[in-house]
Amino acid sequence: MYAGKNDMLAVIEDVRWVRDHTPDLIYYKELDDFTHFNFNGFNVSQKHQYYDDLLNKIREAQGMSDSIFGNPMMYFFTGLLIVIVALAILIPLHLRKKA
């Protein structure tokens, strides 16, 4: 799990709560100066701060070949997938806290 310390949509306190309540979590990293939009692949200059780490973790876990990651669109779709998963987890948690 990657978390942006400046994310206003998935605030770091909520992400830490999810981390602390996810017993099967195998990896967690907080990134300074990251917002929600840094994870979607649109900010090319900052994506390398975690994309290489993320792709290496996927390769290690799945024993995957580097060949599928040669396409730049894989960076975009990987980031998009992360955003969708984070929203699916954190929005219901945020709404429950307000209720």
pLDDT digits (tens, 9 = 90+) for 44-72: 565 566 777 887 887 777 766 555 555 66
d(CA 91, CA 99): 12
13: its two tokens = 């306190």
86: its two tokens = 């984070």
d(CA 69, CA 43): 18
Q: Domain range for residue 31?
A: 2-98
How is residue 8 annotated by DSSP?
Answer: S
pLDDT digits (tens, 9 = 90+) for 65-93: 555 555 666 777 787 888 888 888 888 87
